[in-house]
Amino acid sequence: AGLRVTPLTLGDLEDFDPLDDAVVFGDEPLPVQILKPFCTEMKGQSYNLSEGPAELPACVAIFLMARGVAEARGRA
């Protein structure tokens, strides 16, 4: 899924945000093809994506590819 498995105690659960606290990959841009419209928020940034080519931070691109929302594409 592009996210780290993070052990939590019951007390940690309330403040845990997996799309911020469990992000493994960085912000280097990756070119992808968005296959269907998708909205998400990751690391405090909102993404409202439409079908077509996009360049996104690696953490977002990998998250979307793992969900079948995007495919990798070659760099121009």
pLDDT of residue 19: 86
Q: pTM of this prediction?
A: 0.85
Q: Could you identify the residue written with the tokens 């493994």?
A: 24
Residue with tokens 């998250």: 63
- Tell me the β-bridge partners of 57: 29
CA distances from 61 to 4, 7, 71 (A): 15, 24, 8
What's residue 76's pLDDT? 60
Instruction: From first to last of the 76 residues of the chain, give the pLDDT tens digit.
Output: 788 899 999 998 889 988 888 888 999 999 999 999 999 999 999 999 999 999 999 999 999 999 999 999 986 6
Domain definitions of the chain by residue range: 23-72
Top CATH class of 23-72 equals alpha beta
DSSP-derived 3-state class of residue 11: helix
Partner residues linked to 56 by β-bridges: 30
Gyration radius (Cα) of the chain, Å: 13
